Amino acid sequence: MATALRTQAKTRLPKTKCCTSKPKCARCPLRMLADGTLPEGLTVKKRRLVDVDSGRRVKKQKVKGGKRSKAGFFSRAA
């Protein structure tokens, strides 16, 4: 039962570009569009993931849904 809850909560994020291989992977934006599992506000044009409103290509940060903090590995406490 725990595995069923884990799989429902975990959603796959689409790739930003289709790899054009014949057996499509589970994260392929074309496959997700056909299956209806592509997140809202995103669509596919010319095998690239684009924003519905602006029509511009989507970057990986927008797909992940958050900004990376600049403080991290390179910041040191002196």
Q: Write out the two tokens for 64.
A: 């992940």
Quickly state the pLDDT bin for 61 (edges 50, 70, 90): confident
pLDDT digits (tens, 9 = 90+) for 5-56: 444 446 778 888 888 888 888 889 998 999 998 888 899 999 999 999 888 8
pLDDT of residue 45: 92
Residue 22: phi and psi, rounded to 5, are -65, -50
pLDDT digits (tens, 9 = 90+) for 31-43: 899 999 888 889 9
Domain limits of the chain? 13-64
- The predicted model scores a pTM of 0.61
39 three-class SS: coil
